[in-house]
Structure 1
Amino acid sequence: MQSLLSERSRVFERADPYAVSGYVNQHVGTHDLRLPAHGHPQASLNHRRFASLDLCRISYGGAVRVTSPALENIFHLQILLSGHCLWRGQRQEHYLAPGELLLINPDDPVDLTYSDDCEKFILKIPVALLEAICAEQRWNSPRTGVRFTENRYQLGELEGFVNLLSMVCQESEAGERLARVDEHYQQIVASKLLTLLKTNVSREPIAGASASFERIEAYIEGHLREDIDVEALARQASMSLRSLYALFERHAGTTPRQYIRRLKLERIRACLADPTCNVRSVTELALDYGFLHLGRFAEGYRQQFGELPSETLKRRS
């Protein structure tokens, strides 16, 4: 992956890590840098601006820790080129190895610890770019915005993506550049991410001119871990919100929101009762399905099934 930015893009070489960190804060994403207690690490950075994207190749030369409460209006795609990096996020820890890709959403906290020999390629993508592509393609995403629902990937799983990034890096270092060409490439990169990686974006309509209740139900069951917005569901089904509510009243005797909640609880109960389903805790499973108020979740579960979720889990063993 040496083609991901060459020496032609060098901004710092064996420099003060805080100087590099200041540059990164300005161009790539706001963060705090903590240096190791001992030693004098030397950092290096390659950087190019490409349309609305930022391309960055960085190494700090020491076991530094990078943290940020959130990236706010940007996505970070990070590819580990060498060494290792400890990522802490979403109630888990993982050592990234060379060839692994990490996708950080705008509202994800950042907590990364580099090894001495860690080097990364970072692609900064503005939220507005992904949202514009979804609007142009008439793809649907929740009102809360586009989010990637899985954070980690092996590059080998993403067919052709490294070659695409290499091409973009080469274009960014070309002597003569055309803004229209840059914009065309950034559209391809962002579209590839939305199709290769798992997101909360629905790229297919539920139906053409109209949707049956069965097709809407199948769509909901396939997206239960996501925040299914009822207004977006109506748009997907090519019907008014009023017609959607009437369809659910006729076929399910309830509202779309209550129906979605019921299916989520049924899916959770099936997992709690199944010994082959890996459940670390009821709380974690509830959060996976979007139940943020755990007291209300437990009460709703008890009302629907006549027992608490912890009792269902206990009975499986």
Structure 2
Amino acid sequence: MHSQSVSLAPLYRRRVFQSSEKVDCHVQVARELSAHDLYWKGDNVDTALFKATIRQLQIFMLKYGAEVVVRPTLFQGFVLVHMTLSGVAEIEADGQKIRIPQGQAAVIAPKRNLRLWWQAGSEQLILKVPVALFSEIDLRRDVDLAGTPSLLLLPQQVASHWELLMQSLLGVLGLPAPAASHTEWINHFERGAVEFLWSQLAPGSVSSALADTGKQSAAEIGDHGKFRQLEALENYIQARLCAPVTLADLARATGVSVRGLNILCHRHHGVAPMDLLRNIRLDAARRRLLEQPAATVTETAFEFGFAHMGRFSAYYRQRFGELPKQTLVRHH
């Protein structure tokens, strides 16, 4: 059964191929992702590949049907993020091995060798990320992946955030024909996903920030200056309710590191920074629906940064106990 948290409908409208022939599968996948050796462990071949391009990011859904072992060549200028939609995948890179159960994701950036095993019936959602994008969001530029993990299973505590980022990217695919008004938001969603990945991969980063505050973070969130930081954070968000905002933007505006910002928000708001941003935007969207009878749910959602209407409605109902359309009907 698929992970229920990510809707693939926009991606399923972009099929590259579907085949029951082993040769066809190998050639097509190699062309889109990476040259590789493919070893079939069964004859139940039911492969399908779906692909969508955002701007510089590419999203794939790939299944083989049968159990397979894949040995790709080393990636040239990109890393992959695998999220298991069904079944189980096992990945071994540079001597490290992990299993990716359904609903979890791993970042793959091998330096020497790579081997992937997919259980029969396994389906994977794959994000292809050019390394050059990491350089664009890191002040050091010219990012070298030599100091990053070859294989990283995203911690359970950040899984929901990653799913939200992937859903936002997939939501972009459902937008009407490209328009100038969409460009800024599309760039925002793409940059947000890359910044999140770099916050996990960057040398010296700590994925379990909440469990290990460290000396620097303890100083950042100490009593001295914490209220000033909280005020700066809220003022920054309120001034940019209708503008793209990334996790790094929030950290810079608050004057702390990304790790320090996470701890600050959890201790004083009980949620992660991007969840706080979402809640404040939901509050603003509700005010719009209450105060402007002519407002539409779709326009309101998009204006406040919600590209996926299903997600917007779910978050709205969770926060206010009713759907946005019910707010319009009941109050007008």
TM-score by length of 1: 0.55
Deviation readout 1:125-147 (Å, 9 max, x if unpaired): 0011111211xxx2578756673
Letter in 1 for 2:36: H
The answer to whether the aligner puts 1:51 opposite 2:55 as a matched pair is yes
Alpha-carbon RMSD: 2.8
Amino acid at match of 1:32: D
TM-superposed CA distance for 1:56, in Å, is 0.3
2:158 maps to 157
1:199 maps to what in 2? 202
Secondary structure at the residue paired with 2:133? Answer: helix
Aligned twin of 2:167: 166
Q: Equivalent residue of 1:95, what SS?
A: strand
Instruction: Output the CA distance in 2 between the equivalents of 1:183 and 1:98.
Output: 29
Aligned to 1:22: 27
Match 1:34 to one of 14, 34, 39: 39
1:116 aligns with 2:115: no
| Distance of 2:204 and 2:29 partners within structure 1 | 30
User: Does the 8 Å contact 1:81/1:98 carry over to 2?
Assistant: yes
Query: Which residue of structure 2 aligns with residue 266 of structure 1?
Result: none
Q: Where does structure 1 differ by over 6 angstroms across 4 or more consecutive aligned residues?
A: none
Q: 1:28 to 1:163 in 2, by over 3 A?
A: same
Contact 2:63 2:124 in 1 (8 A): yes
Gap runs ≥5 in structure 1: 204-214, 216-317
Aligned match of 2:75:
71
Change (3 A) 1:170 1:20: farther
Check conservation: 1:17, 1:42, Cα contact below 8 A: no
> Residue 11 of structure 2 contacts residue 52 of structure 2 at CA under 8 Å; is this kept in 1?
no
Could you report, residue by residue, the CA deviation over 1:150-205 in whole angstroms, capped at 9, with x for unpaired residues?
Answer: 5112454345220111111121243313455433321111011122x1421679xx
Note if contact 1:62-1:117 (Cα within 8 Å) is conserved in structure 2.
yes
| Larger Rg computed on CA atoms | 1
Provide the rounded CA distance (Å) in 2 between the counterparts of 1:149 and 1:140: 20
Residue 153 of structure 1 aligns to which amino acid in structure 2?
Answer: L
**Map of 1:5-16 to 2, 5 A cutoff?**
5-16=10-21
Q: Which runs of 5+ in 2 are unaligned?
A: 207-215, 217-332
Distance 1:51 1:168, change over 3 A: same
- Contact kept? 1:34, 1:64, Cα under 8 Å: yes
TM-aligned CA deviation for residue 54 of structure 1:
0.8
Report how many aligned residue pairs link the two structures: 199
Instruction: Determine what percentage of the aligned residue pairs are the same residue.
Output: 19
Q: Structure 1 residues 21 and 192 mapped into 2: Cα distance closer, same or farther (>3 Å)?
A: same
